[in-house]
A and B are shown apart, each in its own frame.
Chain A
């Protein structure tokens, strides 16, 4: 059985934080804190989209290049 690693939890938390501005800003303005509207929701959504895409790809490359599971496990699995 695989063990939950600190890196898995950390990356998942990072993902949640990364997407939070878009999710929070999608609701009605009446439910958003004033600081959020003033400091975060002023960015156009397309800017968020590009930032998130870049961040997601960096995280994924890190994960598959051994950053989370380690090269040894992967190589053993692949018979190398």
Chain B
């Protein structure tokens, strides 16, 4: 019975080739986009759920200035609270070393391997579900200078050798770490991502390390609470039992006018935090997920609309055939079932094609959806759920056509007395207009995101990246820092240099200091004396760092924002500790934007230091010509000062662009969504145009007989579509304006939305539609009227 139904369905579909083809194309496109987005969303929503302690894991966050939150705190806090809080089962401390992504084999230090190493305390393997293949979870990271690497990293570095007992470095000049364990690869949907854990004991056992300083807000503390523990109460207890840090917290509470400083954020919220504090942990802006999900649904809606439109325009042809079936004995229900079955078959065909397309093209979509493994084979739910959805889609899409095509009495049909009411025309117009609204709105969205990205790209941060390259140093280079730099300057294509602890855009160090009776937080940027001049940063008060470095060593230049925020009347009288001794504020610099333009400018201090440990990078200003030779010269000069292979030379403007990779990906995604929706809308329009030109062929012939030219016929055929496009714009523009404005409010530095953005979107939709409409109408408009008029 099902087989017979399937046979009838397929025959019916094949009989209306054009409609079937257009429907399959539109549905396949829609399902393709929908499936890709669903795979990505499923991945994002599954973050950290693989942890068996998922419901009891929390991240400690602190309230910062201006209502912000930060997830980095002093590691010392763990020691201070000790075992004083019974609700806490364990505390895992993480420290990710930024800008150091590679590890080296101790016995072969010339080869580096990307591992994104993270320092972690020994509790990590009991609190988190990172299964060990080799090693004891209780002890693998209990000692200093020990490491656990992932299975794939082990294979990469050691091949078939047993990695346990071997040694790794994270900097060539540092002490080696002994591998004590091998873990299974951490899944991609983990907030904590690494191929190599180093033992935090390496830091905590060193009294000079930041891990033992109350002022070092660079560590992530993950709390595993006991069953039934209240996280709010526990957070308050942590504050109360913070030992030597309690005074700091009290000072912050006073400074920020708040009753509480510490909060325990459940791990289920960690991946979706949009307050910026979780960027450390690869968090995603939940607004982005909502946008992705909305676009997925919109694309599906458009395909749904197309299906209804294309089937209903064919109703006139099919009604005669179905009328005969009813006259021969088919019940109305049977006819409806047949039509619904056809819709389901069509949807399943499209779903199958879309699945194949996802498997073939999924890996090419990384620029659009920031997830590498876009495949449906990862999870059977990913196959079953969408298949079920396809069936449901077919069911609902078939309902209206089933009602429509079964509504007429057979006798009327057979005597040619049946006519569809005008309501079908209105529905078609409304549905087509809806599609055009979606396409227009998405184009406006794409323009807005593009404008925002361009705004950031062209924003004068005060730290111009033009013609600036940088490379990571090593101990040999920093040991001979000035000599290395002077050697570079011998090439007249290299005009300036500076050493710095952080690359612009990635200042990662934050200090909490007591200044007067205030507790202040400052982003701290270790630089050399050339830095301000290198970027032409102007001084508002006081002076720049002196070339005579000994006099200014450890001194500071604060930014205007710091002075404004903390109301310093005499900033040049201020002194506070750096890392290793006090320093004085010798100047106030004009504000420069040193972090992402998403956030408001923060108080910041340039800290002059010649400590090689803080000269992680050398930045070079170069002439743009002869680039290849210049880069080669840099590498050759490196080779004179260091036996290690030269690191890759990066361009600062590309670094800036990478800061906005999320928004770039969003832009790519919206363009993808826009393209999908436009294609689906155009498929619908092609179907409608084809139908209308066929339906009106006699009218066209009569008008031509009466003297109408081809152009006049084309104008006639275009009129209704232009009306629909006009209505679509009137609806789309305010909607898009509202949502884009809301999106832009997420950014401290944002562009505006001039009127021409909206007009351009309308013009684009209109132009594309007119080209398609006229392409398919031209033939009809040019047909010899004789061919259409009925003769003898």
Asked if A pairs with B, the answer is: no
